[in-house]
Structures are given as C-alpha cells and as structure tokens.
C-alpha cells in the first residue's frame, strides 16, 4: 500500500491509498473554496449521562446530487470534485460538513472506489483489502490526536438509511468520548468477568454461538459470522475474528488476508436475502451453497432495490478501563424486514430503547445460509 497526503483548496486533508507503489498523486485542487465553517458542540444529557453532538451547519450539506455532479467521483472534463485526481483506488478526506470538529473530534469520508455505480460488494478481494488497510491506518493516525478517545469506521448504504451521496463510501468518526454503546459493552464485560471468575464476555459469546450453531452464518479459519441471540434488527450479523483483539491494529496477517473473502460474501448475501425466487430455496448449512433459484453475483431476481444496511466496526476506546477485555467486531444490519417493508424505530424502540424484532434470529441465520454463493 502507498499512502499520499495532500490538501484540498480549503485546507482539509486528503489521503490517497494506492495498491501500487509507483503511483504519483500530484493533482492540485484549484476550486475557489472558502474556509470550512463548523458550528459543532458536544452537550451532555444529564438524565442519561450521554453525549449529543449539535451540528447545525450540516443542514446545508450536499443532498442526493445527480451522478454527473457527484463530489466523490474523480475530477474529470473540467468538473472538479473533492478528489482532484482523474482516478483513485481509495481516498479519504476530512468531511466539509463534519458532525464533530476541532476540539470535539474529527469526521472523515472514505471513498471505497472511483466507480460511482459500484458498491462495496462489487469490490475485488484486493480492493476490499486496501479499504481494510485504510481503516487500520486511519485508526492508528486518529488515535494519536489528543482529544480522540474512540475511532468508529462505518458505512451507511441506501437512501432508506439516510445516505445523501450515492457514491460507494463510508465514514470515520473520531469521538472525543467513549460512546454510550461501547460503555455498556465494557460494563457488561466487567460484570461478566466478576461473575464468572475472570472469563471474557466476548470470548464466551463467540464460543457459545459456535457451539450452538443455529445462528452461525459463515465460518472461516480466522473469522466467524453469526446472528446474535437477541438480535435487534430483522437481519443482523456480527462478524468476530476468532482470536480476540481490541481493534483493527491488532489483526494479524492471516486474519487480514481472510477478511475480504468473508466480508464480501456477507455483503453479497445481504443483497440476495429479499430475492423472492431465492426464498423458495431450501436451507443450506453454514457457508453452504444457495438453493435453486437463488440470485447470484449480488443481483436480485425480484427487482427489489439493493438492501439498505449499516456496517459498523466496534473498536476498543484508547484509554478506557477494560480496553484489554474488549473484542473488535463488525456489526452489519438492515432496516428492511421483508420485501417492500422497513423496520421503523417507533414508540418502544425510540421512546424506551426496547427493540421488537419481527424476524427470529434463527430464521434470519437460516435465510442468510440459503443465499450463500455457489
């Protein structure tokens, strides 16, 4: 991997990650951009003890532009974009409309490919490995900023999720605090360790799922994907490295090599779960082939739009007590519960944070096994 750092016209950092060492990145951003104006602040909810980011400047961010005006495509034919080069492998830059800024953290955009019409599931193993390298490098770099406590790499896909740019991309949030969800995990891990005489909660969850097997979606030599026992979302998969590490920096070479194969397969299955023709197929074992009529290569015979999803890396905070007990893992889920219907966070979920799931986790796991690639 070759990393090249430069600056955009308004001073924001732009980084290129290339698979070839001989690539030269010297294009200059000549857009007449004014300075970035942010109005971000962190407020504390005294009742819940949680932080809330207030970022009114985001109301003016770019919203669903036509493909020929996409700011994440390379600059071409006199149409400048956020990427001055005419092509790129992976590009990362500071968000012009950040939720967190200055002393309140940092927000970055990660462009997975220059191909506007692709998705992450369309990447090759080598391209996905380069994205993993970029996530890892950004985690290492952002961890050195004095205000940053936790780095969150994620992807939102689909207008149903709220995506405002159609180009395949994700984001990285560098929080100046430990997020509420992570705090709860760390607390649960500490309570489990005390209750069990020193056992690790994440290790036990993974071991229990592998022993039970009914919710296993895919087994690799270095990774395991399963639907959690108490899944909140209709189709939700957690992906764990079989050897516990606190963050992306802890992954060894073997796990990094296998990750693209496992993750791309999961994404392609998500693109097939709502295919009506595949729904008639019989169940297959974990990692087994799809049944007759299943969609292939991420295409849906039913004509259903691509599955909207959120893909989220959970990494240990840098200075939190219990960091060594935390386990890196990825959580992938969709808000679609069946063809043409979404899972809305209504009264119980939004008002009391009590989820009601319409799809039994065991049934979701079986469906995700049915649509495995042949």
By three-state DSSP, how is residue 368 classified? helix
Q: Are residues 133 and 80 in the same domain?
A: yes
Q: Are residues 213 and 312 in the same domain?
A: yes
Cα separation, 11 vs 5, in Å, equals 12
Which of 177, 206, 228 terminates a domain? The answer is: 177
Distances (CA, A) of 80 to 189, 283, 308, 324, 370: 49, 49, 29, 45, 44
The count of structural domains within the chain is 2
- Whether residue 184 contacts residue 226, with contact meaning beta carbons closer than 8 Å, is answered with no
The angle subtended at Cα 28 by Cα 27 and Cα 29, nearest 5°, is 125
Q: Are residues 130 and 64 in the same domain?
A: yes
Q: Are residues 170 and 189 in the same domain?
A: no
Q: Are residues 189 and 269 in the same domain?
A: yes
The model's pTM is 0.92
Q: Give CA 26 to chain center in angstroms.
A: 30
- Whether residue 96 contacts residue 147, with contact meaning beta carbons closer than 8 Å, is answered with no
Instruction: Enter the tokens of residue 291.
Output: 């049944």
What torsion, rounded to 10 degrees, do the Cα atoms 59, 63, 68, 73 define? 70
The predicted pLDDT at position 40 comes to 86
Which of 118, 153, 177 terminates a domain? The answer is: 177
Q: Are residues 53 and 186 in the same domain?
A: no
Q: Are residues 195 and 170 in the same domain?
A: no
- Whether residue 200 contacts residue 193, with contact meaning beta carbons closer than 8 Å, is answered with yes
Write out the chain's pLDDT in tens, 374 residues.
Answer: 999 999 999 999 999 999 999 999 999 999 999 988 888 899 999 999 999 999 988 877 887 899 999 999 999 988 999 999 999 999 999 999 999 987 889 999 999 999 999 999 999 999 999 999 999 999 999 999 998 999 999 999 999 999 999 999 999 999 999 999 999 999 999 999 999 999 999 999 999 999 999 999 999 999 999 999 999 999 999 999 999 999 999 999 999 999 999 999 999 999 999 986 443 333 333 333 333 333 334 444 556 789 999 999 999 999 878 899 999 999 999 999 999 999 999 999 999 999 999 999 999 999 999 999 97
Neighbours of 158 (CB within 10 A): 18
Residue 130 belongs to what domain range? 2-177
Neighbours of 138 (CB within 10 A): 21
The predicted pLDDT at position 77 comes to 86
Q: Are residues 207 and 79 in the same domain?
A: no
How long is the chain? 374
Q: Are residues 217 and 365 in the same domain?
A: yes
Instruction: Give the CATH number for residue 225.
Output: 3.30.428.10
Cα separation, 204 vs 191, in Å, equals 13
Q: Are residues 65 and 112 in the same domain?
A: yes
Q: Are residues 252 and 303 in the same domain?
A: yes
The predicted pLDDT at position 61 comes to 80
> Which of 86, 116, 169, 329 does the annotation list as catalytic?
169
Smallest Cα–Cα separation from 216: which of 20, 28, 365?
365
| Residue 151 backbone dihedrals phi, psi, to 5 degrees | -115, 130
Q: Are residues 106 and 191 in the same domain?
A: no
Which of 162, 177, 192 terminates a domain? The answer is: 177
The predicted pLDDT at position 78 comes to 87
User: Has 169 been annotated as catalytic?
Assistant: yes
């Amino acid at each position: 991997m070759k990393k090249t750092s430069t600056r955009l016209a308004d001073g924001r950092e732009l980084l290129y990650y290339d698979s070839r060492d001989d690539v030269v990145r010297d294009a200059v951003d000549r857009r007449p951009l004014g300075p970035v104006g942010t109005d971000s602040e962190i407020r504390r909810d005294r009742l819940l003890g949680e932080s809330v980011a207030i970022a009114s400047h985001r109301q003016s961010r770019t919203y669903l532009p036509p493909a020929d005006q996409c700011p994440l495509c390379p600059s071409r034919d006199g149409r400048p974009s956020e990427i001055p080069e005419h092509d790129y492998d992976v590009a990362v830059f500071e968000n012009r409309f950040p939720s967190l800024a200055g002393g309140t953290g940092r927000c970055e955009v990660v462009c997975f490919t220059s191909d506007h019409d692709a998705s992450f599931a369309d990447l090759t193993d080598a391209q996905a490995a380069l994205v993993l390298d970029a996530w890892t490098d950004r985690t290492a770099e952002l961890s050195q900023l004095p205000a940053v406590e936790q780095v969150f790499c994620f992807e939102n896909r689909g207008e149903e999720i709220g995506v405002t740019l159609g180009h395949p991309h994700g984001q990285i949030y560098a929080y100046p605090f430990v997020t509420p969800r992570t705090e709860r995990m760390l607390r649960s891990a500490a309570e489990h360790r005390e209750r069990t005489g020193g056992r690790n909660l994440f290790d036990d969850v993974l071991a229990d799922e592998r022993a039970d097997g009914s919710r296993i979606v895919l087994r690799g030599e270095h990774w395991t994907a399963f639907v959690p026992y108490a899944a909140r979302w209709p189709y939700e998969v957690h992906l764990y490295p079989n050897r516990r590490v606190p963050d992306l920096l802890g992954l060894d070479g073997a796990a990094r090599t296998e990750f693209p194969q496992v993750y791309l397969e999961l994404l392609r299955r998500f693109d097939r779960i709502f295919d009506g023709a595949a729904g008639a197929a019989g169940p297959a074992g974990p990692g087994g082939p799809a049944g007759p009529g299943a969609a292939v290569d991420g295409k849906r015979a039913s004509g259903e739009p691509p599955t909207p999803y959120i893909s989220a890396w959970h990494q240990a905070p840098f200075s939190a007590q219990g960091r060594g007990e935390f386990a890196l893992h990825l959580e992938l889920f969709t808000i679609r519960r069946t063809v043409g219907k979404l899972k809305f966070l209504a009264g119980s979920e939004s008002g009391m944070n009590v989820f009601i799931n319409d799809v039994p986790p065991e049934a979701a796991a079986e469906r995700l096994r049915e649509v495995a690639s042949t």
